[in-house]
Amino acid sequence: MNNFEKLIASDRPTLVDMFATWCGPCKMMHPVLEEVKQAIGDQATIIKVDVDENQALAQQYQVRAVPTLMIFKSGALVWQQSGYQPASAIMDALRQFI
């Protein structure tokens, strides 16, 4: 089992930000994710995955656009959304699984 699989296997929800360093909207997500982390605390885990460095993972989850946000709970993909998302929408999604 690789590190990614260990992270998403948690009972706590894990928010995964699939991003690319060259992507403008991805850069806009950084402060939003910081805000989410402040609000959610340790009720959820947030990880960032560079799709250029992890192409197999991006293909496995059929990431067609960046940023793509995904929430995993106990190893299962329970929510996925592509494009810029406001903090309120991300927190509403996370709270469903906390």
Catalytic residues: 23, 26
Identify which of 70, 81, 86 has the alpha carbon closest to the alpha carbon of residue 28.
86
Cα 56 to Cα 4, 10, 39, distances in angstroms: 12, 22, 32
